[in-house]
């Protein structure tokens, strides 16, 4: 993977986390508003039930007053019944008007609850998309952080030379040996093969140590191939030749 692309993904990671936190906060606020609206709708339903019961009582009283009017032969009592009937009719009209207003308000609240629910679903979809993007980004970051590609470098390190620490990928380094020091491609003898295996084992161990040290110290500056070669030559003992 391109290091610049990896650094871009790592740089976008905090922004995606902040966007996910903002979406979660907005999602919580929308849920609270939805719960409040649902409680208000439930309260309005209870109020409507109470108004219906009062309307039923008013109708019962009106019917009772009608019966009393039919049974009564007294004009004064008939007048009183008429007044009571008019009063109940006026109360019935007022309750009917209140009931219509509450029904209209319940419809408006139901429409608002539907709007908030659709917005909540949209926010949840955005949050899921942000979580998928964040998971993808974290996966790329972890693979780029812990993946170490195999090195094709055949540099011979001496036992008293510590391998340098590299921040870039191992396969991007220039070879530390010169053309004169390059390993021969001719067929090796048996004792040369044993020495080559031993040298490869030592180089592999030093590569692993360099990889672990690089992961633990990410802020150490990157050395160029020229600086590494000069440092290696300075650390070699005077007059030494071959592997020690």
pLDDT in tens, 30-88: 999 999 999 999 999 999 999 999 999 988 988 888 877 777 666 677 778 788 889 98
Count of domains forming the chain: 2
- pLDDT level of residue 188 (50, 70, 90 thresholds): very low
Distances (CA, A) of 29 to 22, 130, 186: 11, 18, 74
pLDDT at res. 144: 54
Residues 241 and 174 in one domain: yes
Across the chain, mean pLDDT equals: 71
State yes or no: pLDDT of 121 exceeds 60.
yes
Between 158 and 140, residue with greater pLDDT: 140
pLDDT at res. 80: 80
pLDDT at res. 157: 44
CA distance 61 to 145: 83
pLDDT at res. 219: 47
Question: Do residues 55 and 99 touch, judged by C-beta distance below 8 A?
Answer: yes
pLDDT at res. 79: 79
State yes or no: pLDDT of 209 exceeds 50.
yes
Q: What percent of the chain has pLDDT over 90?
A: 18
Give the tokens for residue 135. Answer: 């998971």
- The 3-state DSSP class for residue 134 equals helix
Task: Indicate which CATH number applies to the domain containing 68.
Answer: 1.10.287
Report for 17-21, 102-106, 186-190: range of highest mean pLDDT: 102-106
Q: CB pairs under 8 A, 24+ apart, for 39-43?
A: 40/109, 41/106, 41/109, 41/110, 41/113
pTM of the model: 0.29
Residues 102 and 214 in one domain: no
Q: Which of 120, 146, 172 is the last residue of a domain?
A: 146
pLDDT at res. 36: 93
The domain in which residue 164 lies consists of: 149-244
CA distance 105 to 235: 87
> Which of 242, 244, 156, 160 has its CA nearest to residue 207?
156
Residues 112 and 185 in one domain: no
- pLDDT level of residue 139 (50, 70, 90 thresholds): confident
Residues 176 and 59 in one domain: no
Count of Cβ atoms closer than 10 Å to residue 69 Cβ? 16
Residues 139 and 161 in one domain: no
Between 12 and 173, residue with greater pLDDT: 12
């Amino acid at each position: 993977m391109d290091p610049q692309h990896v650094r871009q993904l790592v740089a976008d990671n905090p922004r995606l986390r902040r966007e996910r936190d903002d979406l979660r906060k907005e999602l919580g606020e929308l849920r609270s508003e939805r719960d409040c609206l649902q409680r208000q709708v439930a309260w309005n339903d209870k109020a409507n039930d109470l108004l219906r019961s009062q309307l039923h009582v008013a109708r019962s009283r009106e019917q009772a007053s009608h019966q009393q009017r039919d049974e009564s032969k007294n004009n004064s009592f008939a007048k009183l019944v008429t007044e009571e009937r008019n009063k109940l009719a006026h109360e019935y009209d007022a309750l009917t008007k209140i009931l219509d207003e509450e029904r209209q308000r319940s419809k408006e609240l139901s429409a608002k609850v539907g709007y908030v629910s659709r917005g909540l679903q949209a926010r949840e979809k955005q949050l899921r998309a942000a979580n998928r993007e964040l998971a993808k980004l974290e996966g790329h970051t972890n693979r780029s952080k812990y993946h170490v590609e195999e090195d094709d470098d055949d540099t011979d390190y001496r036992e008293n030379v510590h391998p340098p620490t590299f921040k870039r990928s191992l396969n991007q380094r220039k070879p530390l040996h010169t053309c004169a020091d390059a390993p021969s491609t001719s067929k090796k003898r048996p004792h040369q093969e044993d020495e080559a295996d031993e040298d490869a084992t030592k180089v592999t161990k030093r590569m692993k140590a360099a990889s672990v040290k690089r992961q633990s110290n990410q802020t150490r500056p990157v050395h160029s191939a020229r600086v590494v070669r000069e440092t290696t030559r300075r650390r070699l003992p005077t007059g030494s030749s071959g592997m020690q």
